[in-house]
Structure 1
Amino acid sequence: MARDPLAAVSTIATPQTQPIPGRTDQVKNAAGGYVFGKDLWRRLEDFLILGTTGGTYYVGEDKLTAENAGVLFEAIAEDGPRVVRLLTEISTARPPRAPKQRPALFALAACYAKGDADTRQAAKTVLAKVARTTDHLAQFFGYYKNLGGKPTSRGTAPTVGRSLRTALGSWFLAGSADDVAFKACKAMQRKTPQGEAFALRDVLRIAHPAADDAQRRTLFGWIAGNVSDDEARDELPAVDRFLTAKAVTSVDDAVRVVTEARVPWEFLPDAMLRAPEVWEALVDTVGMTALIRNLARMTRIGTLKPMADATTRAVARLTDRDAILKARIHPMDAWLAMRVYASGQAQPNPRADRQTWHPVPAVLDALEETYELAFGTVEPSGKRLLVAVDSSGSMSWGGGVHVGASPIGSPYEVGCAMAVMLARIEKGNVHVIDVDTNVHASKVTPRTNLREIASWQPSGGGTDLSLPFAWAARRRMNVDGVVVFTDNETWAGRAHPTQALDVYRRTVNPQVRVVVAAMTAAGYSIAAPRDEGVLNVAGMDASLPLIVNGFVRS
């Protein structure tokens, strides 16, 4: 009897290289499999969190950037004020949801350049919240020039209307006059993303904000060069400390003002911040977060080195349990710091030279202990979790995952590290597997040393992300939640992940919750878009364990 081709059509088990019959919301991913296209707003959220630096295994940086810029412009055309609300939420979240601020600043600039009047009005009200520093303001201004400027004989000039002037002026009016003075003193000048000079004095002249009290009038006059230093320091404590720091002419003077006057490190002349002795004094005075962020700098200039006294004191602070808990350092923050420091390289600006350093073993050990101690305030959900780490070939992608300007590892390594954290937090209620076209035992345990993950390699081969659900269903493994770390480039299964999840729900646990954690901003997901039991998250969000905890608990 001839084979009936219609017998191969199934909505229960469909090869992933074909769309599910009757579904019109599936798209082909970069590996050739069919997945669910994320809606416009989910794709925009992924871009705002993940950015496009480094591209993905399948898609280069330039193409990924162009695709996500197109998503942004489409979203602005559909509902610009909603774009502003979303970028503000992501930009101001605590703990941070996005490792870099640039995508949010680019999106805000695009809202001004491409949005309607309501969009510009919404953007105007949040500029000071999103562009919190001079550096942020410079980035926003540079992006706006590219998107909403006009050509001149010298290049591009910004088109500045009343709305933008008001927005720029709001930066100088947010917070007390001394708060603004502190920000201004930290950085009067920066570079735009195009490498052009950017000065607060010029912005003040463009914006013409109206001072609301005598202190602010003094501040504006001082920035513009119309008020003397002596008058400004009498009115504004931040300016007084700044001018004290700027008067420093020697390393000894810098050490003195740090130790005696407790001058913030940001106020010191750049030349002083290149001196190892100055940072040796700052080791004891900077906040815990600033200490962690400057470990690479201190190592690069020679403050932190093997057997040095400064190293001993830095290690003591990094392993101070009470200080870690008081600063609310999250295990994820500590791990990211450890990976950035261990990478030995960074390039904060594409135009800048690459920075390199040789990590000090004692500091790496201390950061590992910071990680351990940071679990002190994290409470488990009490739920049973199956964690599946995509171990296919694309997860070994050499471009890797970046935080700030440093590579922290391949998507597979990052996924395994997150699995370790969940295993630690949930205290034994977690089982971890690796998945390619088969299910493999994972090396992850609650006691896995995070450094050893760097030497692990994924099993490679194809990707079948229906397997976590099919595997759990066959074993009648009753879990409350399934967490999948992946790049969503699945293609090899005989059934789609959503079909396998349906089977698991029908046969084992109809209430199971699923979290799909994307390592890249690829624009699609294995999860059906209207499935309320599935949560899509993206990127190196330090709050991911808490998100998983809350979603599964609900």
Structure 2
Amino acid sequence: MEPSGSMMSSLSNHTSNSTGGVCPWEVSDKAKLRRFLCYGSEGDLYTAREEARVSMESAGALLSLLQDGRGTEVVEDIKRYSQDGQAVRINPSLFALALCSQHSELKTRQAAFKALKEVCRDPAHLFAFIQYKKELKEGMKCGIWGRALRKAVSDWYNEQDAMSLAVAVTKCKQRDGWSHQDLLRLSHTKPANEAISLISKYVTKGWKDVQAGYADKENSEEVMKVLSYLEVVEKVKHSCDETEVINLIEEHKLEREQLLTDHLKSKQVWKALLKEMPLQSLLRILGKMTSNKILEPGSADTEAVCERIQSEMALKKAKIHPFTILLASENYKRGQGYQGKTKWEPDSSILTAMDTAFYKSFMCVEPVGKHFVVAVDVSTSLSSVVPGTSISTAVAAAAITMTFARTEADTQVLAYSEGALVPCSVSADMTLAQATAELVKIPGGSTDCTLPITWATENGKAVDVFIVLTNNPIWTCTASPVEALKKHRQKSGTSSKLLMCGLTSIGHAISDTEDRGLLNICGFDVGAMSVIRNLALDLI
């Protein structure tokens, strides 16, 4: 088979050597940096559902690039990964930006501060960035609040839309030991306009000073709008009247972070919050809402929530991935929280709505446009559970294969064990139950993770990305997976990559290979889907 157009374009991403072949797939400092920005580690291992601790020890390539005078390149990558949804976790980007912002090279520092507003899109990001700067300066004589940081923080506030800033400072008041009051004071921010000045006064002096200062003034329309909004936020904070609180929530789209703990003891307040709550947040608290009888079987509120969950418009707006819905659905079906004693009887209408939403949400997955082979190891029972979830490895494997079968036009699904490999008829029109049944019907045996690559090579299939799924903790291979991958690249003329997904694994499936085209995934979550996508598109 001749390489397709997309395969040829992926080939062009590699520099050819003098003999016309593709250069070795060494893991360069740039590749390590991009892995770090994506999931917080420079190594070839992504661990699902685990926030890696970001530190200097895990950022060796980042430091090397800065020492080589490539700081502005680093900042461009930080912007790209934090903005385009390529980063599974935001903290590595914030740490890297903090490091760049105090590098010895002036143009690197300038680029970092200029990128602050693009990378720190909300107050929580800004607070984390400032805290990283503080930690990086520990033990050094100089402080962090130089002219450049003061200007960057001032610009962060001054360049915001006033109403958006008013919402942000009342929703996220402090984090990581920092508050807006601290930042405005330490940055000596001079408000760029009257509306920002009003918000700054509210944060630093309080509502009474704002009332006294603006009561008799001729205020612009924008100032009046901000003033009115802040008045609502203050009114809620001091209200014990449930009806008034509900009316303010519904009229001004207030969120739970802007309410008092006492307000959240009211079922009616929660019902008001659910109407506009972001879909991601709503999916996370369905169990709690059912347990507290806020969502009761057959109620109008439950019906409204079900409509939102399966609304195509809501799913598109929130960019909900099918795996997110599957995780939420299985957790809800479980009828018990992971922490505490919260228990509930799952509502059948909510389960039906989540099932419908699962199939609709495939439209939110943007195709990569590569040739995928998804191979499922059936040598051991697929009845184990993916760590940190309520999903069996069989259902997880089926959901992953379905994602590629439904969104990528060129996908081959295989099942393998006992030295044999069988093409599976997992197709785009199958349900999750049908796809799961298709995978588990093949008898188990010993496993060899090189089989899918060998099969593709021997059958003349040019494959861009191999995804091998297993819950077998012991990998046996007749040959090295890296050697098998190299043979496939050579014979097919394709820049093939391999992802080894140990669905129940807690460590390396294959030890560090120093081949940029091979990554290991331990466990599985929505972030793992981003890692697969990034590797397929040569972004990590």
User: Quick check: TM above 0.5?
Assistant: yes
Structure-to-structure mapping, 1:471-550, within 5 angstroms: 471-474=455-458, 476=459, 478=461, 481-485=464-468, 492-504=476-488, 509-511=492-494, 514=497, 516=499, 528-529=515-516, 540=527
Aligned to 2:346: 360
Cα distance 1:107–1:511, how it changes in 2: closer, same or farther (>3 A)?
closer
Contact 2:40 2:54 in 1 (8 A): no
Aligned to 1:204: 184
Cα distance 1:341–1:114, how it changes in 2: closer, same or farther (>3 A)?
farther
Aligned to 1:12: none
The structure richer in strand per residue is 1
Cα distance 1:546–1:73, how it changes in 2: closer, same or farther (>3 A)?
closer
Cα distance 1:211–1:40, how it changes in 2: closer, same or farther (>3 A)?
same
Mean Cα deviation higher: 269-278 or 430-439: 430-439
Give 1:181 deviation, angstroms: 1.6
Structure-to-structure mapping, 1:272-283, within 5 angstroms: 272-283=263-274
For residues 363-399 of structure 1, the C-alpha deviation after alignment (integer angstroms, 9 at most, x for no partner) is 3442222121123466878876421246799x99989
Give the secondary-structure state (helix, strand or coil) at the position aligned to 2:34: helix
Whole-Å Cα distance in 1 between the matches of residues 92 and 231 of structure 2? Answer: 35
Cα distance 1:382–1:49, how it changes in 2: closer, same or farther (>3 A)?
closer
Letter in 1 for 2:402: V
Aligned to 2:315: 324
Letter in 2 for 1:223: V
Contact 1:46 1:521 in 2 (8 A): no
Contact 1:392 1:459 in 2 (8 A): yes
Cα distance 1:309–1:66, how it changes in 2: closer, same or farther (>3 A)?
farther
Question: Which among 26, 42, 45 is matched to residue 34 of structure 2?
Answer: 45
Cα distance 1:342–1:71, how it changes in 2: closer, same or farther (>3 A)?
farther
Aligned to 1:122: 111
Give the secondary-structure state (helix, strand or coil) at the position aligned to 2:426: coil
Mean Cα deviation higher: 365-374 or 321-330: 321-330
For residues 245-276 of structure 1, the C-alpha deviation after alignment (integer angstroms, 9 at most, x for no partner) is 33432333222222344434443334323533
For residues 172-198 of structure 1, the C-alpha deviation after alignment (integer angstroms, 9 at most, x for no partner) is 1232222212211112223x1xxxx32
Cα distance 1:260–1:238, how it changes in 2: closer, same or farther (>3 A)?
closer
Structure-to-structure mapping, 1:330-345, within 5 angstroms: 330-335=321-326, 337-338=328-329
Matched length: 485
Give 1:225 deviation, angstroms: 0.5
Is 2:127 the partner of 1:138?
A: yes
Cα distance 1:210–1:380, how it changes in 2: closer, same or farther (>3 A)?
closer
Structure-to-structure mapping, 1:86-235, within 5 angstroms: 86-93=77-84, 96-113=85-102, 116-150=105-139, 159-190=144-175, 192=176, 197-225=177-205, 227-229=209-211, 231=214, 234=224
Whole-Å Cα distance in 2 between the matches of residues 450 and 527 of structure 1? Answer: 38
Is 2:100 the partner of 1:77?
A: no
Give 1:283 deviation, angstroms: 2.4
Letter in 2 for 1:470: T
Give the secondary-structure state (helix, strand or coil) at the position aligned to 2:170: helix
Whole-Å Cα distance in 1 between the matches of residues 530 and 46 of structure 2? Answer: 23
Aligned to 1:268: 259
Contact 2:377 2:468 in 1 (8 A): yes
Aligned to 1:449: 432
**Aligned-pair RMSD on alpha carbons?**
4.9
For residues 417-468 of structure 1, the C-alpha deviation after alignment (integer angstroms, 9 at most, x for no partner) is 32221112247x5332356784555888342527996998999999854322
Give the secondary-structure state (helix, strand or coil) at the position aligned to 1:228: helix
Cα distance 1:499–1:263, how it changes in 2: closer, same or farther (>3 A)?
closer
Whole-Å Cα distance in 1 between the matches of residues 133 and 393 of structure 2? Answer: 32
Cα distance 1:274–1:39, how it changes in 2: closer, same or farther (>3 A)?
farther
Aligned to 1:252: 243
Whole-Å Cα distance in 2 between the matches of residues 280 and 199 of structure 1? Answer: 30
Cα distance 1:471–1:64, how it changes in 2: closer, same or farther (>3 A)?
farther
Give the secondary-structure state (helix, strand or coil) at the position aligned to 2:115: helix
Contact 1:234 1:240 in 2 (8 A): no
TM-score normalised by L of structure 2 = 0.71
Aligned to 2:18: none
Unaligned 5+ segments in structure 2 are: 1-22, 216-222
Give 1:325 deviation, angstroms: 4.3
Cα distance 1:89–1:326, how it changes in 2: closer, same or farther (>3 A)?
closer
Letter in 2 for 1:200: H
Aligned to 1:303: 294
Give 1:131 deviation, angstroms: 2.3
Letter in 2 for 1:187: C
Whole-Å Cα distance in 1 between the matches of residues 335 and 143 of structure 2? Answer: 38
Aligned to 1:417: 399
Give 1:150 deviation, angstroms: 4.1
Whole-Å Cα distance in 2 between the matches of residues 397 and 80 of structure 1? Answer: 45
Whole-Å Cα distance in 2 between the matches of residues 282 and 346 of structure 1? Answer: 21
Whole-Å Cα distance in 1 between the matches of residues 336 and 134 of structure 2? Answer: 31
TM-score normalised by L of structure 1 = 0.70
Mean Cα deviation higher: 39-48 or 372-381: 372-381
Mean Cα deviation higher: 509-518 or 100-109: 509-518
Cα distance 1:109–1:276, how it changes in 2: closer, same or farther (>3 A)?
farther
For residues 459-481 of structure 1, the C-alpha deviation after alignment (integer angstroms, 9 at most, x for no partner) is 9999854322212233x263554
